[in-house]
A = this chain, B = another copy of it.
Amino acid sequence: MKTRPPPTIPKVLAFDVFGTVVDWHSGIAREVQALHPDVDGSEFALAWREGYKPAMKRVLSGELGWTLIDDLHRLILDQVLEQFGLTGLTEAEKQHLNKAWHRLDPWPDVLPGLARLKARYMICTLSNGNIGLLADMAKRAGLPWDCILSAEVFRAYKPDPSTYLGVARIFDVAPAEVMLVATHQDDLAAARACGLETAYIERVAEFGAAKPKDVSPDPANTWHARDFLDLATQLGC
C-alpha cells in the first residue's frame, strides 16, 4: 500500500456497488420484514445473496445464456421464498420485492465521499448489476455517478477480464489509470491481474452487524480505506 498518492494516476475510479456502495443486507432485510413480520429478514437477505454466486456460475459456465441480474435475482427469490415458507405472495408482490435491489441505501459515508472523489476523478460503477437497476438505485439515492458501467455493457460478468479492461477501453486510458474500489478481495485481485490499481473498503457490517466481516488489509492493494471519506482523504481530495 502506498502512503501518498501517485502524481497522475488513476484517472478513473470504478466502484463495485453491492456491499461497497450500498448496504444490501439491511435494505433487503427491511423490505422482507415489512412484507412478513414473522420472517427473519436478516437470514432471508443472506440466503438471497448466497444464491447469487451459484446462479452467476451457471451463466459463466454457459449453462444459462446471458442473464441480467434482475432475472437471476428472481430465479433465486423463487427458491428462497419456498425455503422460508413464504408461498402466498402474488406475482406483483414478487416483482416488487425483486426490485428491492434497486432500492438499497448507500452507507452513510458514500454521498459525501463520492462528492469529494468526483471533484478530482471520473467516477463510475463497475457492477454485475444491470444498467436499469443501477440507474434506478442512483436516482433514488442521489449517487452522483459520471457514468454507469455494468456487466451488461460488456456482456460479461466480473471477474471476466473484459469487464475491468473494458473500463479502460471506454475511457481511452491505460489499465493502470483505472482503480477499482471494492470491499471484496477476489474482485480486487481480478482487477489487479488486469493491471488496474485497487482500493479496498472496509464494510465490516456487509453481512449484518451480528456477523462482522474480516476486513484485514491485503498489501497487494494500492490503498486500504475504512470508508469513502477515508479514501478521499488518503487520495488528497
Q: Interface of A with B (CB < 8 Å)?
A: 70, 122, 124, 130-132, 134-136, 138-139, 146-149, 152-153, 170-172
When the two chains form their complex, are residues A147 and B135 in contact, meaning their CB atoms are under 8 A apart?
Answer: yes
When the two chains form their complex, are residues B146 and A147 in contact, meaning their CB atoms are under 8 A apart?
Answer: no
A124 contact from B122, B135, B172, Cβ within 8 A: B135
In terms of DSSP, what is the predominant structure of the interface of chain A? Answer: helix
Output the least CB separation between A211 and chain B (Å).
Answer: 32
When the two chains form their complex, are residues A146 and B139 in contact, meaning their CB atoms are under 8 A apart?
Answer: yes
Contacting residues, chain B, for A130 (C-beta < 8 A): 170
When the two chains form their complex, are residues B132 and A172 in contact, meaning their CB atoms are under 8 A apart?
Answer: yes
Q: Smallest CB-CB separation from A130: which chain B residue?
A: B170
Output the least CB separation between A18 and chain B (Å).
Answer: 18
Output the least CB separation between A182 and chain B (Å).
Answer: 20
A147 contact from B70, B131, B171, B172, Cβ within 8 A: B131
Docked Cα-Cα span, A139 to B147, in Å, equals: 9
Given A122-B139, A146-B139; A132-B70 close (CB under 8 Å): no
A132 contact from B135, B136, B171, Cβ within 8 A: B171
Contacting residues, chain B, for A135 (C-beta < 8 A): 122, 124, 146-147, 170-171
Output the least CB separation between A132 and chain B (Å).
Answer: 5
Contacting residues, chain B, for A153 (C-beta < 8 A): 131, 152-153
Across the A-B interface, give the 10 residue pairs with the lowest CB-CB distance, nearest first.
A135-B147, A132-B170, A132-B171, A139-B146, A131-B170, A147-B148, A135-B146, A132-B172, A153-B153, A122-B139
